[in-house]
Amino acid sequence: MGCTSADLMRWLPQALGELHTNTSLVVDGQVLKEAAHPQLRIFGSSQSVRKIVLLEIPVLQVRLQFSESWSQDDCEVVLNRFDLCVGMGG
């Protein structure tokens, strides 16, 4: 993703809707958002900045881990909304 951890934190409420309160976020080993019983865990890792001439784009690699009780369809619904809201959907 072309964003920082602060960008991701700002986007999460809209990207996840009601699931936001049951989501934990850890970036570079630092807990940025904790949920008592997370249904979704997001793990991020800052990568090297991408440079295009004078433009510098931050890079954050993310991995989403859903609760084992979720169906494939449930996961896809959340992923589609997440992708749309954070700009990966097109």
The rounded distance, in Å, linking the Cα atoms of 3 and 31 is 17
The number of beta carbons lying within 10 Å of the beta carbon of residue 32 is: 16
List pLDDT tens digits, range 73-90: 999 999 999 998 887 543
| Cα-based angle 31, 32, 36 (whole degrees, multiple of 5) | 70
Which residue range(s) make up the domain with 69? 5-86
What CA–CA distance (Å, rounded) separates 80 from 88? 9
Q: How far apart are CA 70 and CA 68, in angstroms?
A: 5
Q: What is the structure's pLDDT at 88?
A: 58
Return the SS3 of 88.
coil
The predicted-structure confidence for 5-19, as pLDDT tens digits, reads as follows 999 999 999 999 999
**26-78 pLDDT, tens digit each:** 999 999 999 999 999 999 999 999 999 999 999 999 999 999 999 999 999 99
Q: What is the pTM of this model?
A: 0.88
Q: What was the pLDDT predicted at 2? A: 87
- Domain total of the chain: 1
* CA separation for the pair 67, 47 (Å, rounded): 26
